[in-house]
Structure 1
Amino acid sequence: MSTPPRISCVILCHNYGRYLDQAIRSCLEQEPGNFVLHEIVVIDDGSTDETEEVCRRHEGNVKVIRRSQQGFGQSLTDAFLFSTGDWVAPLDADDWFHPSKLRTCAEAMTGETLFIEHWENVVDSHGNPKLKDPHPGGNTSTLVVHRGTALSLLPVSNEISFHALREANRGVVLPDPLIFYRVHPHSMTDRSTPGVSQDYRAEVCLGLSDRLRAMHGNPPPWATTRQLRRISQHFRALASGHRVESALQRNQRLSAVILIPRMLIATLRARDPIAPWLRSLSSAIAGRPLVRLATGQGEQAQS
């Protein structure tokens, strides 16, 4: 029998001490399966609340990396640099895992799979359901990534960078809602100010596109040069889509229309499905954004 995969659960925390205990316990209380819970790491990114006290209560069960605040991107990068398991399951400290998370994901760690994504249950600040049905994932807590492979993409500013592995056909998407994703007024992502979240995502996608293009001459083991070219254009198309959405949220309809050809060119070069471009085109013509603000979730999957 093959050796069970060793999984590192890495919790990213900045002033989420009020939620941290639940996040840690959700890692400790995982159902048994064909995996080894190798370690639980808490990256305390300069918290000034009760985070340190909560970590002390779990002394012996968690490894704590405490430092001055360096931001989310560095914390996510460090989740892979400082962990030692075969796979890394990052967890935002305001979310928590379903008890079957690791068992279910371990079952998908077969063949050439290097990236696992799953769905989520969306809850409010008190943990009560915010959406009636499970929602597609893509954010930090819905991913499990092969650590050795992830190192080739570091440093990262956002979890979107790891989606490149899915686009290289090295990932699987599980329809199981294996986390509870908390939407609350103190979330790091601003989804209430028009255009802010979309502009941020556009910058991340453009940065990733440039990074993948720079890897053309010396491709990593998980992709060929041809794949990297296509994936680079895929994230360029996504960036244009986010820019269109940002312009519409800011009532800048003309700017949105001007961006539509750029999105189409990147879509064709990436050989992506045309449907997302058609939705953005229709939205730009109508002058109506695709994403609802202040709900935490949009009508269109943008990751």
Structure 2
Amino acid sequence: MTTPPRISCVILCHDYGRYLARAITSCLDQKPGDYLLQEIIVIDDGSTDETAEVCRRYRDFIRVVRRDSRGFGPTLTDAFLLAEGDWVAPLDADDWFHPAKLRACAEAITGERLFIEHWEYVVDAAGRPLVTDPHPGGNTSTLLVHREAALTLLPVVNEIFFHALRHAGHGCVLPVPLVHYRVHAHNMTDRHTPGVSQRYRADVCTALAIRLRTMAAEPPAWTTASVLRRMAHHFHAQAAGHRVEAYVQTGQRHACWRPLAAMLAGTIRSCAPPRPWLRAIASAVTGHPQAPLRELDNSGAGDTESDHSNTRT
């Protein structure tokens, strides 16, 4: 008999004390299954609100790590450094898990699988449905990641770094909503100013591409140098695509052609389908953004937005 996977739930919190109790309770209320809940950790990233008081109320059930504010990337990195489980389920403090989250993800764990992603319910600040149908995930709270594999990618800037495991053939996507993903006025990502989110996404993809190329010199056990180089080209293409979209959103279509060329080169070198590039060039020619500025979109293809300690995608 195989040993059930040990899962660490790690909650990332910066001034989200008003939401934190629900996040903690959602970890405590998980339905039993073929897994062991190793621990619940709350990383308090320099909060100045009621976060400390909420943590005190749950002190018998959680481990709290308090420190000065370091930002989202270092907090997500620490989630994997601090965890003791075989797998890590990161949770933004303003989101909360569906009771079947851990059970469903544990059932999807197979021999070579290192990354599991699932869909989400999108809700507003009060927890009311904001989008009628379940929405594709990809952001922090929709993941379950094998800890040892994740350690090879640290330090991370954003949760998209862990998507490299899926691109390397070690992941799966469950089309089942297993988290409530909250969109509210205090998300750090600017959803109203054209180009801001897209430029951020471009920077994240570029950082990941550089990391993957560096890793190719000494590949981890879960992949090869050639796969890492191919993924680096893929994420360079993703970065270029986000820059095209940023230029279209800001009315700078004349600046689109250089990133379009870079996107085409990355697409060819990564042996990826040309459809994203064709969409980008159509957007540049027509001047119409590929999606409404405030539309929610998943991060599975490299679309990421980061809140200070909570990713909003």
Class of the TM-score when normalised by the shorter of the 2 chains: over 0.9
Is residue 14–residue 44 contact of structure 2 (8 Å, CA) maintained in 1?
yes
Q: Indicate the residue corresponding to 2:103 in structure 1.
A: 103
**How does 1:64-103 map onto structure 2 within 5 Å?**
64-103=64-103
- C-alpha distance in structure 2 between counterparts of 1:254 and 1:89, whole Å: 43
Is residue 161–residue 208 contact of structure 2 (8 Å, CA) maintained in 1?
yes
Is residue 42–residue 63 contact of structure 2 (8 Å, CA) maintained in 1?
yes
Q: Indicate the residue corresponding to 1:258 in structure 2.
A: 258
Q: Indicate the residue corresponding to 1:163 in structure 2.
A: 163
- C-alpha distance in structure 2 between counterparts of 1:217 and 1:298, whole Å: 31
Q: Indicate the residue corresponding to 2:229 in structure 1.
A: 229
**How does 1:3-14 map onto structure 2 within 5 Å?**
3-14=3-14
- C-alpha distance in structure 1 between counterparts of 2:286 and 2:73, whole Å: 36
Change (3 A) 1:90 1:63: same
- C-alpha distance in structure 1 between counterparts of 2:150 and 2:296, whole Å: 27
**How does 1:33-182 map onto structure 2 within 5 Å?**
33-182=33-182
Task: Give the deviation of 1:44 after TM superposition.
Answer: 0.2
- C-alpha distance in structure 2 between counterparts of 1:129 and 1:260, whole Å: 37
- C-alpha distance in structure 2 between counterparts of 1:10 and 1:175, whole Å: 23
Instruction: Please give the per-residue CA displacement for 1:256-303, whole angstroms capped at 9, x wherever unaligned.
Output: 233211101101111111111111111111101113223444899653
- C-alpha distance in structure 2 between counterparts of 1:209 and 1:259, whole Å: 15
Q: TM-score, normalised by structure 2?
A: 0.94
Task: Give the deviation of 1:52 after TM superposition.
Answer: 0.4
- C-alpha distance in structure 1 between counterparts of 2:157 and 2:290, whole Å: 25
Task: Give the deviation of 1:239 after TM superposition.
Answer: 0.3
Q: Indicate the residue corresponding to 1:17 in structure 2.
A: 17
Amino acid at match of 1:294: R
Is residue 237–residue 264 contact of structure 1 (8 Å, CA) maintained in 2?
yes
Change (3 A) 1:102 1:271: same
Matched residue of 1:191: which SS?
coil
The RMSD of aligned alpha carbons is: 1.4
Amino acid at match of 1:116: I
Task: Give the deviation of 1:152 after TM superposition.
Answer: 0.4
2:209 equivalent to 1:206: no
Matched residue of 1:153: which SS?
coil
Matched residue of 1:40: which SS?
strand
- C-alpha distance in structure 2 between counterparts of 1:299 and 1:45, whole Å: 24
Is residue 191–residue 296 contact of structure 1 (8 Å, CA) maintained in 2?
no
- C-alpha distance in structure 2 between counterparts of 1:121 and 1:140, whole Å: 14
Point out which structure has higher relative CO (alpha carbons under 8 A, 6+ apart): 2
Q: Indicate the residue corresponding to 2:308 in structure 1.
A: none
Q: Indicate the residue corresponding to 2:287 in structure 1.
A: 287
Is residue 257–residue 285 contact of structure 1 (8 Å, CA) maintained in 2?
no
- C-alpha distance in structure 2 between counterparts of 1:53 and 1:31, whole Å: 27
> How many residues in Structure 1 have an aligned counterpart in Structure 2?
303
Task: Give the deviation of 1:108 after TM superposition.
Answer: 0.9
- C-alpha distance in structure 1 between counterparts of 2:151 and 2:16, whole Å: 27
Q: Indicate the residue corresponding to 1:248 in structure 2.
A: 248
- C-alpha distance in structure 2 between counterparts of 1:229 and 1:301, whole Å: 17
Task: Give the deviation of 1:188 after TM superposition.
Answer: 2.5
Q: TM-score, normalised by structure 1?
A: 0.97
- C-alpha distance in structure 1 between counterparts of 2:275 and 2:177, whole Å: 25
Amino acid at match of 1:195: G
Is residue 139–residue 299 contact of structure 2 (8 Å, CA) maintained in 1?
no
Unpaired runs of 5+ residues, structure 2, are: 304-313
- C-alpha distance in structure 2 between counterparts of 1:81 and 1:298, whole Å: 26
Change (3 A) 1:300 1:193: farther
Amino acid at match of 1:146: H
Task: Give the deviation of 1:145 after TM superposition.
Answer: 0.4
Matched residue of 1:37: which SS?
strand
Amino acid at match of 2:236: R
Amino acid at match of 2:75: S
Q: Indicate the residue corresponding to 1:219 in structure 2.
A: 219
Amino acid at match of 1:207: A
Task: Give the deviation of 1:191 after TM superposition.
Answer: 1.9
Instruction: Please give the per-residue CA displacement for 1:4-63, whole angstroms capped at 9, x wherever unaligned.
Output: 000000000000000000000000000110000100000000000000010011011000
- C-alpha distance in structure 2 between counterparts of 1:210 and 1:81, whole Å: 22
Change (3 A) 1:162 1:302: closer
Q: Indicate the residue corresponding to 1:194 in structure 2.
A: 194
Task: Give the deviation of 1:254 after TM superposition.
Answer: 1.1
Is residue 244–residue 284 contact of structure 2 (8 Å, CA) maintained in 1?
yes
- C-alpha distance in structure 1 between counterparts of 2:158 and 2:49, whole Å: 24
